[in-house]
Structure 1
Amino acid sequence: MTNNSISTKRLNKYISESGFCSRRGADKLIEANRVTINDQVPELGTKVQAGDVVKVDGKTIASMPTNKSDRIYIAYNKPIGITCTTESHVRGNIIDAIGHKERIFPIGRLDKPSEGLIFLTSDGDIVNKILRAENAHDKEYIVTVDKPISERFIERMSRGVPILGTITKPCIVRVKSRFVFTIILTQGLNRQIRRMCEYLDYEVKKLKRSRIMSVELGNLKPGQWRYLTQAEMDEINTSVAGSSKTANESKSENKNENKSEKVVRVKKTYNDLKK
């Protein structure tokens, strides 16, 4: 089955627009040699021409039209224990947990022991626009820790701490009760909040994401989901307007930074934080 209605476009964009997965997911499929164009294994960055047959794991996919009226956008309250993967062999994967009849995939992730708000969609193009670090979209969390929260802890968390070879960006941290605080991040480092707390000798006992951009968790109970409203989608689309590069493409543009200068900068900030 061919699709003669498309113009030339990058392979990862073609796959994401089909609703199969995000562009980052497509890049991983391509790198794993699970994608073919006209039965040939392509390289990253390959462009799809009109009439090309694209397959993933031997199954033909077709790029969707630019009209997004039939795309799906979901807000889900992920319970603890659910894994944010589309891999069907993973027990407790998020796709089986929701059970939607259409192919959807999560935008970003929440750790298995965490709970709260996460978006899922069939629109691969919007995934990368939301995830791009340059867009700095707010994500708010409610965090419970294992001992009383001190002023120093709040100040250090707000200012930034060294994890994963970098310094976390300044963020908004507020005390909610003796053991509970809220934090608003614009980053999405791996296990960021847990690592930040660990650095300051605190252990996270409970972590819930309560907001993404302008969308609140609201009254959704764990395991429940709803479609995003038109007003919410309008605001999201306005926020990501003009964003077109994938996270991988954005990273590649930053690789020209002088590594020695970066190391010096991180060490200087690290020493400042120890004072």
Structure 2
Amino acid sequence: MAIPKLQSYTLPSAQDVPLNKVSWTFEPQRAALLIHDMQDYFLNFWGDDSPMMDKVVANIAALRQFCKQQNIPVYYTAQPSTQSDEDRALLNDMWGPGLTRSPQQQKVVAALAPDESDTMLVKWRYSAFHRSPLEQMLKETGRDQLIITGVYAHIGCMTTAIDAFMRDIKPFMVADALADFSRDEHLMALKFVAGRAGRVVMTEELLPLPGSKAALRALILPLLDESDQPLDDENLIDYGLDSVRMMALAARWRKAHQDIDFVMLAKNPTIDAWWALLSREVK
């Protein structure tokens, strides 16, 4: 009845992202970030030493930092430490008393602790919209895109994405900033949302710049037509990178480096050359 002891698994990579039925463009000025149920209680089911959860927390932290820089509002959900039987209702049948027996674990994990500018929402059911002002707050601030991160992918996160879609708010599920009971359930949630209720993305797709050359390579590989992987100094055009995708990359990276354009990328289309451009200090 209670949440079982959980095991780490390999987080989804760009190659695992299902085909999205919609091609919504992420627009920071229209977006809000949701950090869903990242409380000590829920993360403790993976134990103290989980490299997988360390990566999930790091990805959420990177998205949160980006959102702060872009004035994108940040919302948290958190179950209260005390819940009456009336408030908890059917959750008791499905999951038992839950957090109410571990009130000392109610806080959001320290690495993602909210500050005074963030909004905390009391979480009563799977969806972050249930008995909360989230929809109204988004509409009042002109936000109709919701970046969804946290736990658990196939329960609250997926339900929130479906609920957002039904309220004409575009959900962006961040595949590697979510965690779940198992990899199969994680991938199931991504597949459902991609085909029925939203768009599935990777953390790096939302950040204007990749954080490392390895992250740049991971971003580029899905854009190539060839099955063979290029070396860092090989011409990406020879591997199927087309001008449309290159222009899209230029537009994205120009948000951080205003001198980057299509001509600059096309002049030397290699991972080495592009990383040299991107790793410059942002002025």
TM-score range, shorter chain: under 0.3
TM-score, normalised relative to structure 2: 0.24
Q: Normalising by structure 1, report the TM-score.
A: 0.24
Bigger strand fraction: 1
Relative to its length, the structure with more helix (as a share) is: 2
